[in-house]
Structure 1
Amino acid sequence: MIDQLSTLAAIAESSPTKQPSALENAIAVLFLLAFGGFMLRRWAINNGQASEALARAKNLDHNERDKIEREILDAAYRAKNQSMRINELAISIGEHQRLVLHLVRPMVKWGLLEALPLADGTPDVDLNEYSKVAISAAGDKRLRERDPVVKKTYHGDYFHVGDNSTGVNKSRVVNSHIGTYQERYDGETVAALKELERVVRESGNDDAIETLDGFLSEARSDKPSRARMRLLFSGVQQLVPTISGMTDLVAKVTAIFS
């Protein structure tokens, strides 16, 4: 057996190596040229699309820009953990990632979106299409402000038609829906929600009151989003700093979305 293997090896070594023919060389060259041309054409198309998207982003009028920014916020809000990569946002709303990146950068600067840290924990200061952003409390507030469906819901929830109608800023949402809150939460939690509402409304901060209304609406919804409640409550705390010092209240309220 060993002798047979040795013989076969000797024959293989003595066999002349077949050189590619001129035709085979020509076919290989043509293939490389075709592949190179394809890649060059693809690069040119992608570069052209990116340039067109950037030019469009810079020339959006106010209404067009507002519409796309709302779509970005809505896509981020609906995503898992209310965060997405910029290229995923682009796919989600059907826009070129260069256009989305151009709009996301100022949205992060204005606080509508938050740039999440890189994998190693360092801040992502140079946003690109692979950067991950999350909707902020300010972004959620803007999304609700500009959504006519939500506005209609808020009017149905917070305005009472009749001779003794009370405006949203003077009403007490928890008291108005006390049965719903009592079905979902224990007495101490409902009391904490009442106290939270009292403190926020007495602060006179309209942004805080509106953010609180969104939080309370989510808290009594059929399928409340814990992520959204966490986001909105954080926004309320930032707008009314005294709340953070009310440790018992904060503990009871945060327990419902922890």
Structure 2
Amino acid sequence: MNTVAEASRLQTRSLTLAHGRTPVVRELDVELPPRRVTAIVGPNGCGKSTLLGGLARLLAPRGGSVLLDGRALASIPTREVARTIGLLPQSAAAPDGLTVRDLVRHGRRPHQGLLRQWSRADAEAVEAALDAADLRELADRPLETLSGGQRQRAWIAMAVAQDTDILMLDEPTSALDIGHQLEVLEMVRSLAARGRTVVLVLHDLTTACRYADHVLAMLDGRIVARGAPADVMTPDLVRTLYGVESTILTDPVHGTPVVCPTGLAAASAAP
């Protein structure tokens, strides 16, 4: 994968998203820092995954807009969007018998067309993605024979092979043990270092602070804090988001915030 010469910019203006008649994301103004890792955090049901869906054009805005390099995302051809924005949702399904390599190859479909068929660059992108996800030895195994963690790494490799400027991952470490969590997160950091803009939905605040350059904290469909982890991660924010008291320490190795819950906040603990 090549370093991006000029990073694509994705932002929203007064974006409102809804499921049915129920607004979930309300009038958000967000701009993703290019070539950086952004972590979206917040309690269950606050709109994190819905926001990713809107940013990737899986959900049409109920109000406002999503802009890609200043253009309304809704007006851009689907294939062009797919070459620029990649999204790996929380749950994904594949046909029985599909091998890991076959799945990763699907990531190259946005780059194909009538005048451009499978190329050496496509093959190299697939192999690079397999290596990045530590899946070379499992490349010819059917997905259904893998563990949950291995399957998750295969889906991430497919997203990496898509080779988009902007990559969104919805809870990418949820099915992984601690070793493979670190592999995935280090891979995310390396993608940003090579010019990708990466957006993650994460539940663990300490992990978000360690691996993200920028944090968006959501509550009830709105952004309640944004900025560098060291600037925004405070006991007040943790209490606001989760109703939990905490102490914020500093990681002695990485210098990033470590969130240590100490108990339920008074209002949350009351019967």
Q: Which has the higher contact order (CA 8 A, sep 6+)?
A: 2
Instruction: Answer whether TM exceeds 0.5 for this pair.
Output: no
TM-score, length-normalised on structure 1? 0.29
Q: Which has the higher strand share?
A: 2
Larger radius of gyration: 1
| Between structures 1 and 2, the one with greater helix share | 1
Instruction: Give the TM-score normalised by the residue count of structure 2.
Output: 0.28
